[in-house]
Chains A and B, each alone.
Chain A
């Protein structure tokens, strides 16, 4: 997030696109509701009838996967009606001309064809967000990112915010809501194929020499493979060994059956886990790891807030904190890692990452700090890009709309989209162990619109089979208005409904994010005799 959760209270307008914070980030959802109750105007773009959508001042029920067109259409109107922030654009950005060129063709009529949003509503939405002089924040979630065009979506959001000068002020900004507790931190730490820690890339000699001097090795500069590309690498005989810490790709990966085939083929699979997951079951070596309550460390939240994790109980049996396991393995491989505590590692992070250099465990005892924290006296940075952008001038990178890779056709006429439920988390290996969670949501249900259900003769709680070109699952239907016509919505938490066997492993070309949110499927009612 460029801004903080708390400063949504300063927003005059909140634009939520592709996020249902109520279920995915409940405490942030709560603040958004409170901001709305306080008088902030709410603009929502979402195919689903979420609570935010229904209470919004303007709800654009867009067609799935059409976000770039929608955002370009809004910019088209903002330029046309001269609602943009000339001063901000002139002083702080570059390359506006490109935006003008690209968005020129996104006339309301053209946009309506792609998004299903009429001109009147689109104009109102554009005017509401642009509201000159008002503080307008954008919140987005995986509904925007989990597409093969996820990066385009995100760039378009940035273009819109810069065009209207909504960055660098409390109550404004672009605020992606991170799905997992430490996605931000994992990225910050450089657990990425294309950059060293701190987003320093793989091409800066001075950074490399800093690391190589401290670590005493020559570091590789060849770009690595993204997680979702590793599977092909295995199938093609390029990758022979895989070390997985705390992930369960057998359930989590798009087109998960592809991952299973790869894991069956691989020569050496080492898995570090807290439970015997489906992936761990296929491993050659399994290391038992400590969970968050059994080790010290830090997480970095979606608002860049670095906060402590503390050991309160001992790990079960012989389980160890992940970092100790990595150290032992590295020592055995011949590269010594001499850390006595998690704090030792953190101190090295602070030494190497400019964003973290002013953070110490001692400071974190009082409360979290939002990076960048350049020195020990710096109070942290609740709002990014105040006065100027990190790179100097904000660069407009307009994108054209590309249709989703797989769209409904005669054979697979419906869109499948995957979602979260409040009480459950990811693949449920953690939440599924608490009794009241099962009582709160006892069953996986596929949401369908009554019109679609009617066509197939499906009633509430009818057993249906959903099939894509890659796999199929059986699940009961929940018929309601929440889901748009033409779409089936299925939560992905349930092992008994492995919905990622159906999803598409097409990747965004830059971020390599998979397209979880759209693939085409067909449905049929399950015959009684198949149910047993």
Chain B
């Protein structure tokens, strides 16, 4: 008999004799995890993850060697007739979890970089910086837009959470991440790049989006990508919301915003402008018109009123009303002196706008100290630079007093001091009795906070059912984005009150996912695991040895117009990085996150087996420096788990992996990875590394939970016909690998096949047809180029006969193309003068 019959997880399996349990399971389509497995060889330091439980093992003549009796490594145990094998029993799972915990204890590195982890938008920050470093600006923007469809605006106004956690701070200064984002967006705009963002097939579902600001545009963008038919209803005559009517032109230029909005609309989104919810339509109307769900992203456009006597003065504006008037280009009579009451970001923009209107004095009044202002400190500094004055520890009392000849308004003020700390330690400002004084001004802007709605929503029955919080925001479940009305979702400032643009984007993206699940009835994709190896959660935890050999290189300074010029008009203040500055800045990135992220088997198994490395331990300090000496391969022994797959998968015996010692758990000490002289740089070891210990130097962009296409094709080099797998994201080939099961090369490749594909996207590629004019080759249209060539051949044929023309085909072109060229020569021209370079 040549076969054995056994059971795996109670299913009968018939297999050839003399196969290991691992092989039998693999052929039966049953997955058994393994970190150290290489076909045909065994590690000296087995990972023991492939353990299986064999009931009644003694009767098969087996002896337990592992701690738990009955568990055996599937890679080294031969399947026998009548065996009952369990691959997922509790004992098996416990053993795997224990082994993974042990293996993880010496693994040291960051899965994701701190910038990625800190970004509320979970944007692959390290990834787009790396694309910039490689000059792949288009792909950088596409990567950003996978999660943020308004990079032009965010690149100008983001509070930059990421930069606060950039590890480069421990060396010198953080990478100017946000300037890089703006750079790629602007670069793509000025180069008129079509990003070719893909769309799913039409779902037949219609979604209404109320509000065309950052939240509404984001929700519309993602819902459209998912294949839904989206209509945006916007109360204003133009889209953009806070980006258009809140941020002044010097922060977000209108032409940039128009481009950004158009690039989203290009996806195929319907819009209804000047349609105010509650007046022009109601939620019920949307239902009646056949919308399957509604997203509310109306922002927080209602200002808290200035609650002091005589505030209804014509020269007193709320910040939103004022900024809207400015952004609509209306001329306001603002006089010579103005105050802005409030210390939030909107107050800063109002004050800076007033400076630009040519006022002599603009003063911000705030009842606390500057550091306590809710505005971003960067915005406060910018306002200060432009001449805005700050009257701190003061509060307005009234504006009822009689003005004098020189000004229109007498603003009564009182100075404040901080009271005793309350239970939470917060010190409320208290008026100092008798400290009253007056300020003579012409114009007052109040910026005291924003709401989505004052009171209840109006319009109809459904509107009245929408829950509103006491702060005047729309209540929605943060997880499901659902409001109190079925099928109505919400996100952004309307729900949270004023926050940053990126936070509105995140909320709207999440809402889009929820709406998609709701209208399609599919379950939402599981949230990405928060599992993360880290070199240190806080700066204090990070060992300085990590930065050995990194030299100080200060961040590039953003070119900007000097304040005395920039305050003369509303043109943009910050001019943006040049390409050279962007490349230099991108090269400052320390690439903390692991570029093996998407292929790391250790991480995947730790997650699958729910290993809590924060408890069981991970590497804390770098024991080894990264090695750059190999031309194509980067070695980081800190991540090595001593599985020996590199050494055992090398077909040339050109790699040596050594550990000075191994402790009783299998932790390696004193690791060495040596490429011998006979290494041909084929890169197979990298493709076989289960962690990021071996990396391709050129692969500096980490791929994180993003769609990657893996396409099998044929290597363009020698005649061996090796099958290669191109890993493609968007329009960029990220990496080349090979399938170990595919003929003719069975996973083997040479250095050309695995590495030499940079020519594809090289900037020297020919991009336009050319025709020689006046002795010089000049770019032209396809039409003209074809015309010139066709006419030329036609005339020669008429004059000298068909044999006066010859064609050279190409041994690198496809069969189809070779076939067609010979057909062309034999039919269109009428000659057998057709040849190729086979013999060259």
Contacts and interface: CB of A to CB of B under 8 A. Distances in A.
Contact of A326 (B762, B772, B820): B820
Interface string A291-328: 11111011111110111111011101111111101111
Contacts of A24: 718
Interface residues of A, number: 147
Contacts of B752: 26, 422-425, 431, 437
B458 interface: no
B808 A333 contact: no
Interface in B647-671: 651-652
Nearest to B840: A252
Given A193-B833, A349-B816, A349-B819, A285 B759 contact: no
Contacts of A238: 803-804
A180 B837 contact: yes
A334 interface: yes
A471 B818 CA distance: 33
A284 B772 contact: yes
Contact of B816 (A217, A242, A292, A298): A298
A244 B758 contact: no
Nearest to B751: A423
B196 A314 contact: yes
Interface stretch (B322-330, B465-473, B495-503, B782-790): B782-790
A226 B20 CA distance: 58
B714 A434 contact: no
A333 B777 contact: no
Contacts of A516: 840
Interface string B775-815: 00100001001111110111010011011111111111111
Given A186-B818, A433-B762, A293 B757 contact: yes
Contacts of B715: 181
Nearest to A297: B814
Contacts of A150: 839
B680 interface: yes
Given A240-B805, A337-B820, A368-B721, A292 B716 contact: yes
Given A288-B765, A514-B839, A219 B718 contact: no
B833 A239 contact: yes
A435 B818 contact: no
Contacts of A333: 790, 793-794, 828-829
Contacts of B830: 217, 219-220
Contacts of B813: 182, 186, 245-246, 322
Most buried by A among B723, B731, B742, B765: B765
Contacts of A293: 713, 726, 733, 757, 760
Interface string A465-491: 000000000000000000000000000
Contacts of A241: 792-793, 796, 804-806
Contact of B681 (A288, A303, A332, A423): A423
B820 A334 contact: no
A424 to B, nearest CB: 8
Given A26-B680, A27-B722, A284-B788, A314 B711 contact: no
A302 B799 CA distance: 41
Contact of A253 (B770, B807, B840): B840
Contacts of A190: 818-819, 822, 834
Given A276-B766, A291-B759, A293-B760, A181 B719 contact: yes
A240 B787 CA distance: 18
A269 to B, nearest CB: 9
Contact of B805 (A181, A242, A317): A242
Contacts of B456: none
A85 interface: no
A437 B808 contact: no
Nearest to A253: B840
Contact of A437 (B755, B785, B786, B826): B755
B728 interface: yes
A109 B809 CA distance: 45
Contact of A220 (B728, B732, B806, B831): B831
A224 to B, nearest CB: 3
A72 B715 CA distance: 37
A305 B839 CA distance: 20
A423 B827 contact: no
Most buried by A among B752, B785, B811, B834: B811
Most buried by A among B711, B793, B821, B830: B821
Most buried by B among A179, A182, A192, A293: A182
A101 interface: no
Contacts of A349: 815-816, 819
A224 B832 contact: yes
B832 A245 contact: no
A253 B837 CA distance: 9
Contacts of A511: 839
Given A27-B749, A333-B828, A192 B806 contact: no
Contact of B806 (A4, A183, A239, A294): A239
Contacts, number: 472
Nearest to A352: B819
Interface residues of B, number: 109
Interface in B281-306: none
A299 B758 contact: no
Interface string B743-764: 1110011111101111111101
B411 interface: no
Interface string B213-257: 000000000000000000000000000000000000000000000
A209 to B, nearest CB: 14
B719 A313 contact: no
A199 interface: no
Nearest to B792: A268
A185 interface: yes
Given A193-B834, A275-B766, A300 B731 contact: no
A182 B751 CA distance: 19
Contacts of B713: 292-293, 308-310, 312
A188 B789 CA distance: 27
A345 to B, nearest CB: 4
B455 to A, nearest CB: 53
B672 interface: no
B717 interface: yes
A202 B711 contact: no
Given A180-B812, A301-B720, A285 B826 contact: no
Interface of A: 4-6, 24-28, 30, 34, 145-146, 150, 177-194, 196-197, 202, 215, 217, 219-228, 230, 233, 238-247, 249, 252-254, 267-268, 270, 273-276, 280-281, 283-289, 291-295, 297-303, 305-310, 312-314, 316-323, 325-330, 332-335, 337, 339, 342, 345-346, 348-349, 367-368, 422-425, 429-437, 439-440, 508, 511-514, 516
28 contacts: A145-B839, A177-B718, A177-B719, A181-B717, A221-B832, A224-B834, A227-B837, A227-B840, A245-B821, A246-B809, A246-B813, A270-B792, A274-B766, A284-B788, A286-B777, A292-B714, A313-B731, A319-B767, A326-B817, A328-B782, A328-B786, A333-B828, A345-B820, A349-B815, A368-B743, A425-B718, A434-B757, A516-B840
Interface of B: 196, 631-632, 651-652, 680-682, 697-698, 709, 711-723, 726, 728, 731-733, 742-745, 748-753, 755-762, 764-772, 777, 782, 785-790, 792-794, 796, 799-800, 802-840
